[in-house]
Structure 1
Amino acid sequence: MKLSILDQSPISSNQTAKEALNESMELAKLGESLGYTRYWITEHHDLTGLASSAPEVMLAYIGTNTNTIRIGSGAVLLPHYKPFKVAEVYNTLATLFPSRVDVGLGRAPGGSAEATNALSDNFLQNVYKMPSLVKEFLHFLDNDFPTDHAFSKISASPVPEVSPVPWLLGTSKKSALLAAENGLAYAFGHFMSEEDGTAIIQRYLDAYIPRKQGQKPEVIVTVSVICSETTEKAHEVAKSTLIWALQRGRGEGERGVPSIIEAQQYSLNDQEEATLENMKKKLIIGNPTEVKEKLIELQTNYRADEIMLNTITYSTKDRFNSYRLIAAELLKNS
């Protein structure tokens, strides 16, 4: 099984943002040493407890401190930006780190309405234009605009020997079809979707049209996972993540991911208890054997080429340990 890492650069209540970003770099190094295929970092804006607002900056830092693991965005929120600039940024990264760069594209705002307005003037209009933005970006990436196009005489410099690999990220049939129609690899966010993911992936596979000769559809499924030596310990560690999600729903959680003790002492009403139990259904929590079985089942059901793991814990030790335990079960060279 191919495994990868999706990192949101979470800030724990005992951390600074700088410490969280350095933890992200160390996580990428750990993933490389354990045999994970790729490390992607997310883009979020003005969201309490997440330090990943500028993935392109972090990817330059992480690329310099790693050697083989693929690095990329999960995702560039394209409606905020001009495709030409995004192509320039990721072509630069691909020039610096040959044959290692992915560029994941998404359409979400990545933050509040106020943050969205601060980033771009026409976000909603650009969301509707997402299909044309994707096509324009791909033309810049491939340097193949028709000769009569207004952009045919410019290139997204520097042009690397090996272009970044484009992916489309999403949680819906609309995103799956957009990926399929443009011959893009597709990353489905199981951890943040209420949809029937297997039907969405099947729609993608059925509609896929190769962008280049020999290309085949490729699927990543991203899931939230917390693994510990015992089931009891895994659920104890996961409580911090779950409580933090509830806090943010209340407009709280400014201090970041709470400690296990803080999470255990957090007062919940009946409705929140029910919400907590429902949230657990989207997480894979357990000991190494349990997590291995669930990941294999997930891969089989989704017909996924790769599983990408998102793990948020209060403790760096618990977070890194989760990735180590899963690698020991499922990656040959760990």
Structure 2
Amino acid sequence: MKLGVLDQSPIGRGEDAVVAFKHTLELARAADRLGYSRFWVSEHHDTTGLAGSSPEVLLAAIGANTSRIRIGSGGVLLPHYSPYKVAENFRVLEALYPGRCDLGIGRAPGGMPLASIALRNGAPKPPEERFPETLRELGAYLESGPPLGPEHPLAELRATPRVGTVPEIWLLGSSGYSAAVASRMGAGFSFAHFINGYGGQGAVWDYLRSFRPGPLGTMPRVNACVFVICADTDAIAEREASSMDLRLLYNEKGEFGRPFPTAEEAAAYPYSEWDRARIADNRKRMIVGGPDRVRKALAAFADSYRTDEVIVTCIMSDFRLRMRSYELLAELFDLKGR
């Protein structure tokens, strides 16, 4: 099984964005060395706990700090942007790092409503039915699909720089909608199990059953992304997971400005019955444990998604524990030997 990384550049307690990006680059170098398949970075806006607001800029630095691993966006939030500009950004990245770039595309807002308004320069949110058309335009500018028809007002436009390779294009989603669009457009599909612990396997099955070549690709590609907390023992992992439990709970209560909680804070928190029910439900988005437990759980997770590649995201209260989690996973699945 192949493992990739989704890194959201989390800002730890007592840290700032400068430290968060240093950690992202250190983690990217480690993932490259350890044999991970991909290193994706996310896009979030007006979010105090996550530093990554511009994946394209961050990917340029990650590419310069790595030599083998595929690098990509997890993902660019296309409804906010011109497909032409997105194509140019990724043509630049593909020219810098040929054959290593993934363009992962999402539809989520990526932040609070004011950030969405600012990103669109006050323009209204595009209607849902516009999304496939925008993807076709993107494919035309990247030359992964047919050019825009002669009746299109931008039919003669070409995105620069001109390069001989094209990024792999993935649609990212936490529901069946993105899977259905990906299957019609020929894109790869990555299910965000770390966002929604329900329905992903069915969405992937529908994608594989319905896939046909299109403007974004010719072959089906599937992976799924899940929170993983792996430590040297089950006890250490569970202690660390309690911090993540509380972080997700804070987010559900709209308390986004809080720093990442410590295990002590999690142990002392006065949980209500509703809180405990939400924590139990959120654990469906996570794989937690020592090496033996995690190896079995990840293998079963991959089988359930009919894929040989899982994207893991390890967010922990201490960067050293986060790095150790990725090191243990690489050892468990012999990533260097692949």
Aligned equivalent of 1:172, options 166, 175, 181: 175
- What residue number does 1:297 align with? 300
160 and 173 in structure 1: CA distance in 2 versus 1, 3 angstrom threshold? same
Cα RMSD over matched residues?
Answer: 1.8
- What residue number does 1:90 align with? 90
Partners of 2:297 and 2:241 in 1: CA distance: 16
- What residue number does 2:99 align with? 99
- What residue number does 1:63 align with? 63
Native 8 Å contact 1:76 1:103 kept in 2: yes
Q: C-alpha offsets along residues 249-307 of structure 1, whole Å, 9 cap, x if unaligned?
A: 33335242122223323332222122222212221001111111111111111101310
- What residue number does 1:310 align with? 313
- What residue number does 2:75 align with? 75
Aligned equivalent of 2:149, options 146, 154, 166: 146
Q: What percent of counterpart residues are identical?
A: 38
214 and 119 in structure 1: CA distance in 2 versus 1, 3 angstrom threshold? closer
305 and 126 in structure 1: CA distance in 2 versus 1, 3 angstrom threshold? farther
Code of the residue aligned with 1:136 in structure 2: it is E
- What residue number does 1:5 align with? 5
Is 1:281–2:281 an aligned residue pair? Answer: no
211 and 229 in structure 1: CA distance in 2 versus 1, 3 angstrom threshold? same
Native 8 Å contact 1:79 1:127 kept in 2: no
Deviation at 1:82, TM superposition (A): 0.6
110 and 127 in structure 1: CA distance in 2 versus 1, 3 angstrom threshold? farther
Aligned residues: 334
- TM-score when normalising by structure 2: 0.94
- What residue number does 2:166 align with? 163
Is 1:262–2:268 an aligned residue pair? Answer: no
Native 8 Å contact 1:45 1:111 kept in 2: yes
- What residue number does 1:118 align with? 118
Deviation at 1:247, TM superposition (A): 2.0
Larger displacement relative to structure 2 (145-154 or 274-283): 145-154
- What residue number does 2:253 align with? 250
Deviation at 1:167, TM superposition (A): 0.7
Native 8 Å contact 1:43 1:74 kept in 2: yes
Code of the residue aligned with 1:42 in structure 2: it is S
Deviation at 1:213, TM superposition (A): 12
Partners of 2:195 and 2:67 in 1: CA distance: 30
Code of the residue aligned with 1:227 in structure 2: it is C
SS at match of 2:6: strand
Partners of 2:156 and 2:212 in 1: CA distance: 27
Task: Give structure 2 stretches of 5+ with no counterpart.
Answer: none
Partners of 2:124 and 2:228 in 1: CA distance: 32
Code of the residue aligned with 2:206 in structure 1: it is R
Larger displacement relative to structure 2 (262-271 or 217-226): 262-271
SS at match of 2:223: strand
7 and 128 in structure 1: CA distance in 2 versus 1, 3 angstrom threshold? same
Native 8 Å contact 1:12 1:258 kept in 2: no
Partners of 1:37 and 1:254 in 2: CA distance: 33
- What residue number does 1:43 align with? 43
Is 1:52–2:41 an aligned residue pair? Answer: no
Deviation at 1:87, TM superposition (A): 0.2
SS at match of 2:114: helix
Task: Give structure 1 stretches of 5+ with no counterpart.
Answer: none
Code of the residue aligned with 1:307 in structure 2: it is V
